[in-house]
Amino acid sequence: MGSPGLRLALDPGNKNHPMKNQESVLIDSASDFHKVTAQPRTSIEVQNVTVSFPTPKGTFTAVKDINLTIRKGEIVSLIGHSGCGKSTLMGTISGMAQPTGGQVVANGKKVTGPGPDRGIVFQNYSLLPWLSVYRNIYEAVDSVMKDKTRAEKREHVEQNLKMVNLYAHKDKLPGQLSGGMKQRVAIARAFAINPSILLLDEPFGALDALTKSAMHVELLKLWNLDHREKTIVMVTHDIEEAIFLSDRVVVMSDGPAATIREIVDVPLERPRNKKEIVHHPAYMEIHDRLLSLLIDKYSIEDYKD
């Protein structure tokens, strides 16, 4: 949440801001006007981050010397082969893991641990199996939004449950849910604490194409609702998803000691239409680029064997 004082004065997302209405109509993602003047801050800075794990066979370096700067309100996808270190990198941003070298700065502060300004969707959902869907979200909300009343928190949780279309299942235990439903609970939980940075590790991986599309729309809706102030970093294996959602796609090289292979810009205008966008020449170019970056790797591997 950065410095609240500054936000109050300058944040056009604030309801009291006199210029809010004019601005939010005028501004789209292509124009960074208000961000440049009012919020010149970057949201996340990954500086020379290296993560190594001690193993019985010596140190294993998963990612090495990663540098990445993400602007406030940007949507960035991380893409790369399985095991290259995407979750590891996300861990250093979320604060769940400490980098062995370098540092991460989020919202102007060095990351030393998880914080309420960063909402995390874990790759394996991480729901508490003895709490109902509702309680899983409520406990997180209760712990982060301390100054809200019980009724407000309940209202807030229910709203988020409706957003992921799980209100009817709110009393079920995680064990009674399908994989996709669990994933949606995890998403609702991360959204519910209203963080300025959302860190999503393959958030839509277990969903069918239809639900996935609906969740994409929900994600963008949420992002728009907050005047595109939220920064979203997302790991995905889905090229189409990455292009549709992101401003930039970060392609990682294979591990060990993985680094950023290339950052591909997605300068497609928002709002984007899923059906139309695929016929856009820029889209096809980006798609081809990403595909060759990823497939290229595969073919090299194939020759090695």
Partner 1 sequence: MQTIKFMLRGVLYFSGGMLLLLGVWAAIAWLNRNPEATELADKYPLPTPLMTFDVLKEIFTQPFQDDPDVKGIGVKLWGSLLRVLVGFGLGSLVAVPLGLLLGSSRVLMNLVNPVVQILRPVSPLAWYPLGLAVFSATNHGGEGLLNPSSKAAIFMIFICSLWPTLINTAFGVASIPQDHKNVGRAFGFSLWKYLTRILLPYCLPHIITGLKLSIGVAWMVIVAGEMLSGGAGLGFFVWEEGFNAGKVTHIIVAIFIIGIVGFVLDKIFSLLQKAFSY
Ligand X SMILES: Nc1ncnc2c1ncn2[C@@H]1O[C@H](COP(=O)(O)OP(=O)(O)OP(=O)(O)O)[C@@H](O)[C@H]1O
Q: Which residues bind ligand X (CB under 6 A)?
A: 53, 55, 60, 62, 80, 82-88, 123, 255
The CB-of-135 to partner 1 minimum distance in angstroms stands at: 8
- Return d(Cα 255, Cα 292) in angstroms, integer: 18
**Under 8 Å between Cβ of 195 and 116:** yes
Task: Rank residues 89 and 293 by Cβ distance to partner 1 and give the closer one.
Answer: 89
Task: Rank residues 5 and 129 by Cβ distance to partner 1 and give the closer one.
Answer: 129
Taking every pair of Cα atoms in the chain, the longest distance, rounded to a whole number of angstroms, is 64
140 makes contact with partner 1 (CB under 8 A): yes
**Under 8 Å between Cβ of 17 and 230:** no
Calculate helix-pair angle for 179-192, 133-144, nearest 10 degrees.
Answer: 20
The CB-of-269 to ligand X minimum distance in angstroms stands at: 30
The CB-of-88 to ligand X minimum distance in angstroms stands at: 3
Task: Rank residues 4 and 58 by Cβ distance to ligand X and give the closer one.
Answer: 58
87 makes contact with Mg ion (CB under 5 A): yes
Q: How many CB atoms are closer than 10 A to CB 58? A: 7
Task: Rank residues 126 and 273 by Cβ distance to partner 1 and give the closer one.
Answer: 126
What number of chain residues touch partner 1 (CB under 8 A)? 24
**Under 8 Å between Cβ of 23 and 34:** yes
139 makes contact with partner 1 (CB under 8 A): yes
What are 292-297's contacts with CB under 8 Å, separation 24+? 293/251, 293/261, 293/262, 293/264, 294/79, 294/80, 294/81, 294/239, 294/251, 297/81, 297/253, 297/254
96 makes contact with partner 1 (CB under 8 A): yes
Q: Is 280 left (phi over 0), alpha (psi -120 to 50) or beta?
A: beta
Task: Rank residues 64 and 71 by Cβ distance to ligand X and give the closer one.
Answer: 64
**According to CB under 8 A, which one of 189, 216, 228, 261 is a site residue for partner 1?**
189
Strand 248-252 versus strand 260-265 pairing type: antiparallel
191 makes contact with partner 1 (CB under 8 A): no
The item of Mg ion, partner 1, ligand X, none sharing an interface with residue 203, based on CB under 5 to 8 Å by kind, is none
Residues that bind Mg ion (CB under 5 A): 87, 123
Residues that bind partner 1 (CB under 8 A): 94, 96, 113-116, 120, 122, 124, 126-131, 139-140, 142-144, 173, 175, 189, 193
